[in-house]
């Protein structure tokens, strides 16, 4: 039985696996690339705007919530495709729910940006 790593060794390997996941998502998912491009444009704008620290944090957090949701959706889709490539009601439902989560996170980001920029 393999022993589990602990402490900084576990943190080191977790970081390696996370970087591999980010790279895989970047290379295989156009939506991830689009969201990262939006982050690269909008985060500097958030720092340029004359707003409070809390408002700036909300703007940036809303962007990262979209990216996090997209990464989780991509993971669900990859797992669903691994389980079965045939059309199945439950797999379609899981993919649709993941897509809905991304959609809701995008609405949240638009609301946050809209409300802060318009007030």
Extract the tokens encoding 68.
């996090």
Task: For residue 65, give the nearest of 86, 39, 94, 34 by alpha carbon.
Answer: 39
- From the candidates 29, 35, 55, 70, give the one annotated as an active-site residue: 70
Q: For the chain, how many residues are written? A: 119
Q: Give the integer Cα–Cα distance in Å for 116 and 97.
A: 29
CA pair distance 18, 39, nearest whole angstrom: 19
Residue 29 among the catalytic residues: no
**Which structure tokens are listed for 52?**
């409070």
- Distance, in Å, from the CA atom of 64 to the CA atom of 54, rounded to the nearest integer, reads 15
CA distance 10 to 4: 8
Positions marked catalytic: 70
């Amino acid at each position: 039985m393999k022993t589990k790593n602990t402490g900084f060794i576990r943190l080191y390997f977790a970081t390696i696996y996370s970087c591999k996941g980010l790279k895989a998502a970047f290379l295989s998912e156009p939506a991830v690339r689009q969201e990262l491009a939006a982050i690269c444009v909008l985060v500097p704008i958030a720092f340029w705007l004359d707003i409070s620290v809390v408002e700036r944090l909300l703007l940036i957090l809303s962007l990262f919530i979209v990216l996090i949701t997209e990464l989780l959706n991509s993971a669900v889709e990859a797992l669903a495709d691994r389980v079965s490539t045939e059309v199945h009601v439950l797999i379609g439902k899981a993919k649709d729910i993941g897509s809905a989560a991304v959609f809701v996170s995008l609405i949240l980001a638009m609301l946050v940006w809209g409300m802060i920029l318009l007030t």
